[in-house]
Amino acid sequence: MNSAVTSKKLNRYIDHTLLKADAQLFQIEKLCVEAIENSFFSVCVNTSYVKACSELLKNSNVKVCCVVGFPLGAMDTTSKSFETKTAVTQGAQEIDMVIHIGALKDRRLDYVKNDIKSVVEAAQGCTVKVIIETSLLNSEDKTLACTAALEAGAHFVKTSTGFAGGGATVEDVTLMKSVVGDRMQIKASGGVKDIHSALALIEAGATRLGTSSGVELVKGLNTTGGY
């Protein structure tokens, strides 16, 4: 295990996440407070909360990340582009979009790539992470999804929404890393709830962790003293 990961560094891997359908404003406010206190990289929220988070975080080093086409990815490209533009206008600095999973499985790869590219263009230079939903894909699917994201100009590939069962695994991060190499970064998301899993995913190549358990992860590293 990588002993170089300290609590100070680990916090900068974390996108502190709240995407539940029943999330309330007071919970979003708490999310932002925790992100500031722990100097997390970002908070990750749905579109309707971007403006509030942008205001709450404006004097901090915490970015606002917004999901697009979430969680199914099956809405049309125009809708994803519009949601992206709305999020960026309201203060989002990073966009996590879901691919059209059915189109990928149909091998409509031009559609998948153009869908991603439209979000990249709508993001106006902001970081775009592409959620491929690994639990619904076989190895060939995952390889093709990563290749499409790379060719479309996205910045990250991301494992999961956390809403389709399964979640981030070392095996998936390793496969994704083998496809994108150093040309893209990798976000591991979905079920990252303990320090052992977090460090293993980082060791496998993840450069960002999407989790609602960021506070617990940092406390866990402090308790264990790292590896």
Chain segment 142-194, per-residue pLDDT in tens: 999 999 999 999 999 999 999 999 889 999 999 999 999 999 999 999 999 99
Q: Is residue 132 part of a domain?
A: yes
Find the catalytic residue in 113, 129, 177, 187.
187
Residue 31: which domain range?
7-224
CATH code for the domain in which residue 196 is found: 3.20.20.70
Residue 187 among the catalytic residues: yes
Find the catalytic residue in 80, 129, 158, 177.
158
Residue 96 among the catalytic residues: yes
Q: Is residue 1 part of a domain?
A: no
Instruction: List, for the chain, all residue ranges whose pLDDT scores fall below the cut of 70.
Output: 1-4, 6-8, 223-227
Q: Is residue 43 part of a domain?
A: yes
Q: Is residue 122 part of a domain?
A: yes
How many structural domains comprise the chain?
Answer: 1
Q: Is residue 72 part of a domain?
A: yes
Residue 110 among the catalytic residues: no
Find the catalytic residue in 96, 117, 172, 177.
96
Q: What is the reported pLDDT for 7?
A: 63
Distances (CA, A) of 61 to 12, 19, 88, 154, 189: 10, 21, 17, 23, 22
